[in-house]
């Protein structure tokens, strides 16, 4: 039997979702995206869950879309659906990033509310060089985090940046030692879980309504741009 591509654990008010394809550097295929959507929906319905933690198994957070998987009509829709679910979830989302966060993996990290990165984490958006367009609402979340000029440089040049630079630019809340990532992320989740759910939910809702006012428009524009590319 194949192991689950997504591990789900609920403890002390925190639902931890672990991308579990370490042999593929947690690259995203449609099964993984569907599993994430189902788990996020479960987290929204379950009053015992107050915080969502997104992380990756093994040395890499997520290498982006699995380019070895046969392309389907659902690829773009599912990646974007996960992004929308993370942003709209009325509960805080924490992303714990180790190793590489590439492409759609980085996009999902930026859809979280708080990003904790290991010192060795690296971030990269290679889409332009691959002839594809970004997804996951990145054209809204990235400029909101780093500013328009840096966002353009990151997506057009596709150069990787390290955790310290990502923190300095506003992509990351906290950088910790590689071996302290899980514990640090758990500590942040525990603090968030102590907030009154209605308070946390309202803060997230209003901050996103103002700070990510064009998120849905970005999703739609990215969809159009992706389908309009000749490749």
Residue found by looking up tokens 């809702």 in the block: 205
The helix-helix angle for 75-88 and 30-45 (nearest 10°) equals 20
Both tokens of 115, joined, read 């990003």
**Dist CA 106 CA 163 (whole Å):** 12
119 is catalytic: no
Take residue 65 and report the two structure tokens written for it: 């879309």
Task: Name residue, tokens 């929308």.
Answer: 84
| Active-site residue identified among 9, 23, 107, 222 | 107
Of 127, 198, 209, 220, which is the active-site residue?
127
Chain position carrying tokens 């440089």: 153
Is residue 9 annotated as part of the catalytic site, yes or no?
A: no
- What is residue 136's DSSP assignment? T
Q: Which of 132, 140, 137 is nearest to 219 (CA)?
A: 137
The residues annotated as belonging to the active site are 107, 127
């Amino acid at each position: 039997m194949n192991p689950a591509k997504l591990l789900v654990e609920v403890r002390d008010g925190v639902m931890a979702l672990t991308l579990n394809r370490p042999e593929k550097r947690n690259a995203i295929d449609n099964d993984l995206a569907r599993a994430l959507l189902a788990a996020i929906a479960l987290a929204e319905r379950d009053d015992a869950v107050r915080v969502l933690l997104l992380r990756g198994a093994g040395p890499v957070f997520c290498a982006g879309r699995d380019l070895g998987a046969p392309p389907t009509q659902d690829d773009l829709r599912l990646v974007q659906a996960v992004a929308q679910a993370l942003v709209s979830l009325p509960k805080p989302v924490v992303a714990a990033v180790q190793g590489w966060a590439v492409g759609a993996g980085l996009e999902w990290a930026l859809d979280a509310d708080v990003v904790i990165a290991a010192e060795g984490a690296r971030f990269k958006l290679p889409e332009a060089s691959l002839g594809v367009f970004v997804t996951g609402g990145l054209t809204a979340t990235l400029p909101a985090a780093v500013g328009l000029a840096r966002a353009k440089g990151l997506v057009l040049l596709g150069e990787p940046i390290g955790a310290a630079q990502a923190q300095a630019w506003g992509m990351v809340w906290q950088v910790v030692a590689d071996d302290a990532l899980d514990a640090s992320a758990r500590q942040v989740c525990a603090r968030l879980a102590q907030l009154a759910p209605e308070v946390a939910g309202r803060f997230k809702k209003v901050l996103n309504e103002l700070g990510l006012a064009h998120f849905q428009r970005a999703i739609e524009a990215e969809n159009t741009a992706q389908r309009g590319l000749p490749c």
